[in-house]
Amino acid sequence: MTERALYARPIPADPALGDDQTLPLAGGPVRFAFAQILSRSAPPRVVPARALPDDLLERLTAPRAPICGLTLDRPRIMGVINVTPDSFSDGGRHLAAEAAAEAGRRMLAEGADILDIGGESTRPGAAEIPAEEEAARVLPVITALRGAAPLSIDTRKPEVARAAFAAGAALYNDVSALTFAPDSLAAAAELGGPVCLMHAQGDPQTMQRNPRYDDVLLDVYDWLAARVAACEAAGIARARILVDPGIGFGKTLAHNLALLRGLSLFHGLGCAILLGVSRKSFIGALSGEADPARRAPGSIAAGLAGLAQGVQILRVHDVAQTAQAVAVWRAIRHGENP
């Protein structure tokens, strides 16, 4: 990895500080007055936010463009619908199209703003399935839910994304950050909707085999910065891009915790941030809870830690519990009544 000119991690400020003393983080309710300057070769140091270069300060503070018609001036909840037999948390529960569609309707009633529909498991060790099989799983669900809410297609395959958009999906959520197929970038540009670029080291079959980084926070940042640049070169505007640090995808417990502690760094990419921590194995490692379905409390704790750093979208399985927690968090921290 090469040294960037500047890595600046905004330090969220106490909400009691007045707006004249702080700056908005990505145009949202979280504000900051200082930033931690990170380096691969020197100790961290803290500087006043207004001392940062103008171009970086603009990326850190500018409001993010709406995604699928959803403004990002408040936290948004993405409900997960796995139309698979083998997803790590809920594989098989929503394999039938009507069961998946009913789950989606329930999530919307519970407070989801957007639904993420996937037909191929990307849990550690999962095998790739043919595009035809993946499409056959998700298309009936997308068709059934079309018009009820914005829909995201969770896929690595551009042919599945194209079919999903034709059926009613509006966001292309790719755990490979559009690297899986040679025409992924072209497909995303052609479809014209927002895209979510997630970091992963390796593929699902290999990613948890001794993942290594020089500096996980800076390495993931640089990798995502390169993918954002590749998207822009392909004609995908930065305003259409979400970034996801990929918690649990080619990371150890220590890597995941380092990323969660440093999440606000990723605002420097000038993109909205999506965080997927729901029911993941690091929560089990920290809590001793072996059953993913019983990890809602830990998932909510990690999600709220992300919101405190300005994350705009939480991708979750437990929508009702998360929506309740977010409502209380907003009222306490920001005096907002949803």
Q: What confidence tens digit (pLDDT) does each residue in 95-109 have?
A: 789 999 999 999 999
Q: How far apart are CA 151 and CA 165, in angstroms?
A: 9
State the pLDDT at residue 127.
Answer: 79
Q: How far apart are CA 25 and CA 266, in angstroms?
A: 11
**DSSP assigned state of 64:** P
Q: How confident is the model at residue 1 (pLDDT cuts 50, 70, 90)?
A: very low
Residue 165 CB-half CA count within 13 A? 20
State the pLDDT at residue 2.
Answer: 43
State the pLDDT at residue 94.
Answer: 67
Q: How far apart are CA 117 and CA 155, in angstroms?
A: 9
Residue range 150-166: mean pLDDT, rounded: 98
* Residue 150: partners with Cβ closer than 8 Å, 6 or more residues away: 67, 68, 69, 70, 113, 114, 115, 170, 171
Residue range 314-333: mean pLDDT, rounded: 97
**DSSP assigned state of 186:** H
Q: How far apart are CA 104 and CA 149, in angstroms?
A: 9
* Residue 205: partners with Cβ closer than 8 Å, 6 or more residues away: 125, 126, 127
Which pairs count as long-range contacts for 86-93, CB under 8 Å and 24+ apart, including other chains? 86/121, 86/123, 86/126, 87/118, 87/121, 87/123, 88/121, 88/123, 88/124, 88/279, 88/281, 88/292, 89/278, 89/279, 89/292, 89/293, 89/317, 90/292, 90/293, 90/317, 91/121
State the pLDDT at residue 123.
Answer: 74
State the pLDDT at residue 297.
Answer: 98
Q: What 3-state class would DSSP assign to 207? A: coil
Residue range 217-239: mean pLDDT, rounded: 98
Q: Is 25 left (phi over 0), alpha (psi -120 to 50) or beta?
A: beta
Q: Amino acid identity, residue 74? A: R
Q: Which helix (DSSP H) or strand (DSSP E) does residue 197 occupy?
A: strand 195-198
Q: Amino acid identity, residue 9? A: R
Which pTM value belongs to this model?
0.94
Q: How confident is the model at residue 87 (pLDDT cuts 50, 70, 90)?
A: low
Burial class (CB in 10 A: 0-12, 13-18, 19+), 326: buried
- In the predicted model, what is the mean pLDDT of the chain? 93
Exposure letters 261-289 (e unless 16+ CB within 10 A, then b): ebbbbbbbbbbbbbbbbbbbbbbbeeeeb
> Sign of the CA dihedral 201, 204, 206, 210?
positive
Active site residues: 280, 315
Q: What confidence tens digit (pLDDT) does each residue in 286-312 have?
A: 999 999 999 999 999 999 999 999 999
Q: How far apart are CA 298 and CA 287, in angstroms?
A: 8
The strand pairing partners of 244, in sequence order, are 198
